[in-house]
Amino acid sequence: MLPNEKFIGLGEKTGGLNRRGSGYSHWNADVPGYILSADPLYSTIPFYIGIHDTLVYGVFLDNSSKTHFNFGASQERFSSFATENGDMNYFLIYHSSIASIISSYTWLTGRMPMPPLWSLGFQQCRWSYYPQSEVLTLAQTFRDKNIPCDVIWFDIHYMERYKVFTWDTDRFPDPKGMLTKMDQLGFKNVVIIDPGIKVEKDYPAYEDGLQKNHFIKYPDGTVYSGQVWPGWCTFTDYTSPQARIWWGDLFKEHVDEGIDGFWCDMNEFATWGQKAPNNLQFAGDGYPITHKMAHNIYGLQMARATYDGAKKLLNGRRPFVLTRAGYSGLQRYTAIWTGDNVGSDDHMLLAVRMVSALGVSGVAFAGADVSGFVTDATPELYARWMSMAAFSPFYRSHKAYGLRDSEPWSYGEDIEQIVRKYVQLRYRMLPYLYSSFYTATQTGMPVQRTLAIDYPMDEKIYYGEYENEFMSGPALLVAACRSTARAANVYLPKGNWYDFNTDKKYAGNTQFYSDAALDKLPVFVKEGSFIPMQSLIQTTVQKPTDTLVLHVYYSSIDNQFTYYEDAGDRYDYQSGGYYKRMMSIRPGSKQIILDKTEGSYASHFRHIKMILHGFDPLMNEVTVNGSSTKIAMQNIELMQQMKLPVVHLQNRNEQITIGW
């Protein structure tokens, strides 16, 4: 290793942004309440990026057995990687930028499809909401309190004795009727699904899977069983194409009832008090393998089978799948969350680094259980985590059985007001977030981005006090800070920045303390940014007004942004059914240019309200395609009320050029 060499990536790993000085292993594991140094965890992504003083490179070790990475943990002179079984099959990716390395890596392992728009909304979960009357009361309370929410999740207590593809009819006597009411309230519904199928006579999933030979076996052909929630269970061999199709078809009844998404849990795969033997036999897609090679890809293949099955059953609607375990390439089928975390400030900041590392590793749709899963959170921690996670890709609150209620109104009126403010901001920012997801589908660039992507040679971003800062999309720098902090130590990289809360301008390459009141998360906007927003909605089923609110931040250098829109729930976008527009700022020629639109989809927005930040305050008019247009000074409510210049435009499909 060179003296100043750094390493980032490896997906879902604990530790700092820079992996130097640490060693890691990959063997997917169920680690509830994991400590801050735990390794390995739930998923395997054997890909990292090395950063020299003058170059960057990527290494992908494509081996699904147990692997090891050592970045100078045992010997400061060397970094190394090793595999316990299989071929030493690795790819060296060299480019001039980290963004290009991520693009090549995701070209190799696959990129995510456009997710359903509703999956970008806020999502409420706990272990577990029941009976069905409580679920309906929960949904109605969100609407009554004007707190946007799109999804309610069903954990294991919805099942009959924890058996997958069943309902507990005592707790949920009319699932279809309940789900119809949820749909009327504008909610989507996601159920948990585990890989373990209970060994039980006359249980259809077990009897059919056994008869069709779809379960994992020992070398002598005996079906393997392990103990999990329902008791002794068999496990589907998802490395068999026939078993994947069979598994996917099992979701038909849930889809017919009105379930919209599926949550793959326990798919490392977890068994209680025992280790699955290494000699278990798997189909290996026609190339038989043992558990040694199948273990780390098991979760990926379960997510794949679930995604493919749901896609087939949803009549053209986009599926949503969330997984706990996975392997490189999981982004093709599923989002991921960081498992059973803890309600603490340290875990909140660790979650930031883990989601950023997953993004570098090709997984753009990732998140953590907001406020921590296995322990209670303080009211202050809940508020801080909810405000910070509003800028993350996957936004779900989840809490374990037996802990205190953890809904936005559970911590008192002051906390409720803070949380409402940031959840509402999330919904106003959906055009910006959705456009950022589109970029991920095209280039692999993550939605949540470590600063190392754009500023790899800046030493300060690796410092402990700054490594938790991240970019939400291309424009917003979020300075994550502890719930107890009321001032945050912030570092802004090169360039100019604007305080998202106050509009104050800062020069880059600077450190300072920013106001971090509990209701004011430090967020900064990169110069030259475009942030499209919409009017407030309570659910993505509801349509905003027909005016796109476009915030444009002055820059001394050229910059551009790709705005993207489609119907949000189907695959028409793959055959041209989208609306795309390149937006650019060119200070040299004093122009903002909205290019001619692409695609056959008609934008929902007929008007554009362009709000100018950082421009000459004495400017009272601009030109729009050569014609003089007056600027209106208006009170704008962003994070607080500010008086800013506004230009009103018709959202025409041809190029629009604004000169100043």
* Longest distance between any two alpha carbons in the chain, whole Å: 83
Which are the contacts of 225, defined by CB distance < 8 A and separation ≥ 6?
Answer: 199, 232, 233, 234
Which entry of 12, 265, 469, 503 is annotated as an active-site residue? Answer: 265
**Tokens representing residue 195 in the block:** 């890989």
Which entry of 39, 260, 340, 369 is annotated as an active-site residue? Answer: 340
Looking at the DSSP assignment, which residues form a beta bridge with residue 635?
Answer: 643
In the annotation, is 268 catalytic?
A: yes
In the annotation, is 265 catalytic?
A: yes
Instruction: Give how far the C-alpha of residue 318 lies from the chain's centroid of Cα atoms, to the nearest Å.
Output: 16
**Tokens representing residue 226 in the block:** 């392990």
Query: What is the edge-to-edge ordering of all strands in the sheet holding 196-198?
Result: 196-198, 231-235, 226-228
**How many whole angstroms separate alpha carbon 238 and alpha carbon 349?**
34
* CA 7-11-441 angle, 5° bins: 110
Closest CA to 349 of 322, 326, 381, 379: 381
How does strand 188-193 pair with strand 151-154? parallel
In the annotation, is 39 catalytic?
A: no
Are 85 and 65 in contact by the 8 Å Cβ rule? The answer is yes
- Where would I find the H helices in 340-478? 345-360, 379-389, 413-428, 430-443
Which entry of 168, 268, 467, 503 is annotated as an active-site residue? Answer: 268
- E-only strand ranges, 274-400: 281-282, 289-290, 320-323, 326-327, 335-337, 366-367, 369-370, 396-397
Closest CA to 360 of 45, 39, 61: 45
Which are the contacts of 364, defined by CB distance < 8 A and separation ≥ 6?
Answer: 112, 331, 393, 437, 440, 444, 445, 446, 447, 448
**Tokens 């999956």 belong to residue:** 119
**Tokens representing residue 130 in the block:** 């029941």
**How many whole angstroms separate alpha carbon 210 and alpha carbon 267?**
19
Task: Please give the positions annotated as active site.
Answer: 265, 268, 340
